[in-house]
Amino acid sequence: FVDDGILGGDPETVLKGFCKIKELFSKMGLEINPAKCELFFVGTKEQKVFDEFSVASPGIQIIEELTLFASPVIDEAISSTFCKKLENINRLINRLSNNNPFKIAIGLRLGLNLNRTHTCLCEEIVLPNSHHGLSCKRGYGKTSRHQRINEVILRTLNTAGYPSTLEPPRLSRTDNKCPDGMTRFSWSGGKPLVWDFTCINTLALCYTQQLISKPGSIAELAAKYVDIEEQGYSYVPIAVETMGPWSLSVIKLIKDIGYKIKILTDDKRSTSYLIQRISLEIQRGNASCVLNTFPPSERLNEIFYL
In this predicted model, what pLDDT tens digit does every residue of 180-192 receive, in sequence order?
A: 888 998 988 888 8
Q: Quick one: pLDDT band at residue 98, thresholds 50, 70, 90?
A: low
Instruction: Examine the domain organization and report whether 286 and 201 are in the same domain.
Output: yes
Which of 5-19, 154-168, 182-196 ranks highest by mean pLDDT?
154-168
- Residue 112 placed within a domain: no
Structural domain of residue 44, as residue ranges?
A: 11-63
Instruction: Examine the domain organization and report whether 58 and 185 are in the same domain.
Output: no
* Residue 126 neighbours by CB distance under 10 Å: 22
Instruction: Examine the domain organization and report whether 142 and 282 are in the same domain.
Output: yes
Instruction: Examine the domain organization and report whether 278 and 150 are in the same domain.
Output: yes
pLDDT at residue 218, as a whole number: 45
- Residue 2 placed within a domain: no
Instruction: Examine the domain organization and report whether 153 and 283 are in the same domain.
Output: yes
- Residue 249 placed within a domain: yes
Q: What is the signed CA dihedral for 126, 132, 133, 137, rounded to 10 degrees?
A: -110
Q: Which of 44, 63, 82 is the last residue of a domain?
A: 63
pLDDT at residue 91, as a whole number: 67
More confident residue, 279 or 88: 279
Instruction: Examine the domain organization and report whether 143 and 278 are in the same domain.
Output: yes
If we measure between CA atoms, which residue out of 72, 105, 59 comes closest to residue 289? 105
Which of 10-24, 212-226, 258-272 ranks highest by mean pLDDT?
258-272
- Residue 73 placed within a domain: no
CA distances from 295 to 10, 32, 123 (A): 70, 69, 11
Instruction: Examine the domain organization and report whether 171 and 280 are in the same domain.
Output: yes
- Residue 111 placed within a domain: no
CB 56 within 8 A of CB 19: yes
Instruction: Examine the domain organization and report whether 145 and 56 are in the same domain.
Output: no
Instruction: Examine the domain organization and report whether 144 and 286 are in the same domain.
Output: yes
According to DSSP H, which parts of the chain are helical? 11-27, 47-56, 76-96, 99-110, 140-159, 208-213, 217-226, 248-265, 270-291
Q: How far apart are CA 108 and CA 106, in angstroms?
A: 6
pLDDT at residue 164, as a whole number: 92
Q: How far apart are CA 79 and CA 125, in angstroms?
A: 48
Sign, Cα dihedral of 245, 249, 252, 257: negative
Q: DSSP character for 145?
A: H
Residue range 31-47, pLDDT digits in tens: 777 777 777 776 656 67
Indicate the pTM of the whole model. 0.60
- Residue 196 placed within a domain: yes
Q: Which of 46, 63, 80 is the last residue of a domain?
A: 63
Q: DSSP character for 178?
A: P
Instruction: Examine the domain organization and report whether 287 and 155 are in the same domain.
Output: yes
If we measure between CA atoms, which residue out of 72, 75, 96, 73 comes closest to residue 84? 72
Q: DSSP character for 42?
A: S
When the pLDDT of each residue in the chain is averaged and rounded to a whole number, the result is 78
Q: What is the mean pLDDT of residues 231-260?
A: 84
Our count of domains for the chain comes to 2
Q: What is the mean pLDDT of residues 18-30?
A: 83
Q: How far apart are CA 249 and CA 234, in angstroms?
A: 12
- Residue 203 placed within a domain: yes
Q: How far apart are CA 244 and CA 93, in angstroms?
A: 19
Q: Quick one: pLDDT band at residue 228, thresholds 50, 70, 90?
A: very low
Share of the chain above pLDDT 70, in %: 75
* 81 pLDDT higher than 70: yes
pLDDT at residue 155, as a whole number: 94
Instruction: Examine the domain organization and report whether 287 and 146 are in the same domain.
Output: yes
Q: Which of 19, 38, 63 is the last residue of a domain?
A: 63
CA distances from 94 to 37, 101, 292 (A): 37, 11, 22
- Residue 75 placed within a domain: no
Q: How far apart are CA 259 and CA 237, in angstroms?
A: 19
Q: How far apart are CA 118 and CA 295, in angstroms?
A: 11
Residue range 45-65, pLDDT digits in tens: 667 777 777 787 777 777 766
Instruction: Examine the domain organization and report whether 24 and 159 are in the same domain.
Output: no
